[in-house]
Structure 1
């Protein structure tokens, strides 16, 4: 499986001799030639499909389409939003109940992580598993967002949501305009940068836990702003990889069930961007 976001490894649809470029034409029928994993799929379209633009080639039954991806993504994101709202309303974050709510949030995010790892190692997507991940992730986001809104600044959550939507729209527009070229070099650079970023964040957390304070200072002050911006840029890059995966899946006639993996990846990436936005705006507000 090929990784397309900073947390999970997922199947890739393109095998362009290791090059994930834009101009590799999908092939239909005939013997597999090593460039298209769905080359023997009789429903594979004859021409490439640009993500979110232009008519799609006629798809046979059981073949992934853009509509499938949009529907599944709406379901997973809707589950995240629903459980986030419910946890915001039902789990109070006043001083008397803050510890309990924090405990539930930590438990939820740990369960979400375990579910995500199970899905990452499964050969096929499991919709129930993906939706369960989204539900527990929503509980975590709801509590954290409520705490930030209560103890940092009331407008920070709205700013983070709007910022996340702006990044998604901007990357989608740039991808459709072909301003972003998702090549093997691009993917390798993003993956290396993401691994380095996450290792630094883990080191900062460990120093914070055992040494107290802000650890290495990567999540507060000027460095916090810098690393917040870097995290958002990385999230934007992973969105481009997600769009490429969707485009290849549609163009190469991937099975319809793969749309769940695409939705899963997009949800994970958007959650990543939202969390970075939330932290960045918290720092900018003067409280981190």
Structure 2
């Protein structure tokens, strides 16, 4: 069966990015993806820590977070169009995400100092738990499982997109409040993000030692996108619970 038939909820791992490249001698490795991902996380953490200090000094984080989000979206589009530039664009994506996360989590850090650290801890633990579940095949990524996660991911993103557009017209939707409905939505989103990691692990495993070496940048992009999504969902959930209780 062709590897191109396998799909994941993360658009970064779409088969569009994984066409054969016979000119490449070295192939994508898990170690290479891990190294690039760790460096990316360290860069994001450094930018976030710097923005926290600026926020404590009274600097508004609104434009940092908004600019980082828009920058990450633009760079992601460029990567999808010019995948051969991934080694340049993915580091730019990481920097943009650093500004977005720095601004996003600055509020939580200032008003609930322990929450960002707790969210980071939950994200790390979830990552390794899902990796263990995948490696031990306790949860098997089947075609049906993949379809459910893809459908859930797309649905959540559509809800976020519609809510974001409505916010420009002064309309606040249920997902931004602290009602039980909003909390349940956050819980479901965090669960879907967790299971999306399984699909990413599965896809990376299928292409390791097969795809060209430069595809590691694309794999890093996808994995970081899922981890950041999970962190954001966990932090938002913790904020809502802290405010409510």
Normalized against structure 1, the TM-score is what? 0.74
Pair 1:79–1:4, CA change in 2 (3 A): farther
Choose the corresponding residue for 2:194, options 236, 241, 247: 236
The TM-score, its normalising length taken from structure 2, stands at 0.86
Question: Which residue in the other structure is 1:274 paired with?
Answer: 231
1:161 paired with 2:120, answer: yes
Structure index of larger Rg: 1
Match of 2:37 in 1: 73
Q: 1:138 to 1:123 in 2, by over 3 A?
A: closer
For residue 174 of structure 2, give the secondary structure of its aligned residue in structure 1: coil
CA, structure 1 residues 219+179, in 2 after alignment: closer, same or farther (shift >3 Å)? farther
- Flag the 1:11–1:197 CA change in 2: closer, same or farther, 3 A: closer
Per the alignment, residue 32 of structure 1 pairs with none
Question: Which of 115, 118, 124 lines up with 2:84 in the alignment?
Answer: 124
**1:87 CA displacement:** 2.1
What CA RMSD, in Å, does the superposition of the two structures yield over aligned residues?
Answer: 2.7
Alignment-derived partner of residue 135 in structure 1: 95
Cα offset for 1:232? Answer: 0.9
Match of 2:59 in 1: 97
Of 27, 52, 67, the residue aligned with 1:88 is: 52
Q: Tell me, what secondary structure is at the counterpart of 2:103?
A: helix
Judged with a 3 Å threshold, the aligned counterparts in structure 2 of structure 1 residues 150 and 81 are, in CA distance, closer, same or farther, namely same
Q: Deviations over 1:123-157 (max 9, x none)?
A: 43521210111011101111221111213x12111
Runs of 4+ in 1 over 6 A off after TM superposition: none
Residue 61 of structure 1 and its aligned partner are, at CA, apart by 4.8
Corresponding residue of 1:107: 67
Maintained 8 Å contact 2:12/2:221: no
What are the superposed Cα offsets for residues 95-139 of structure 1, whole Å, 9 maximum, x if unpaired?
Answer: x532xx311321122111100111122243521210111011101
Equivalent in 169, 188, 191 of residue 150 of structure 2: 191
Give the C-alpha shift of residue 183 in structure 1: 2.3
Gaps of at least 5 residues in structure 1 are 16-36, 42-59
Between the two proteins, the alignment pairs up a number of residues equal to 239
Bigger helix fraction: 2
SS in 2 for 1:154: coil
Where relative contact order (Cα < 8 A, 6+ residues apart) is larger, the structure is 2
The gaps in structure 2 that reach 5 residues or longer are none
Q: Which residue of the other structure, out of 5, 8, 24, is the alignment partner of 1:4?
A: 8
Relative to 1, partners in 2 of residues 1:123 and 1:131: Cα closer, same or farther, differing over 3 Å? closer
Q: Is the 8 A contact 1:84 1:143 kept in 2?
A: yes
Deviation at 1:279, TM superposition (A): 0.3
What SS does the aligned partner of 2:186 have? helix
Q: 1:208-257: CA deviations, max 9, x gaps?
A: 44244xx2312322112111111111111211111112111115x21111
Query: In the aligned structure 2, how far is the partner of 1:184 from the partner of 1:200?
Result: 25
Structure 1 SS opposite 2:28 = coil
Deviation at 1:188, TM superposition (A): 1.9
2:62 aligns to what SS in structure 1? helix
- Contact between 2:8 and 2:199, CA under 8 Å: does it hold in 1? yes
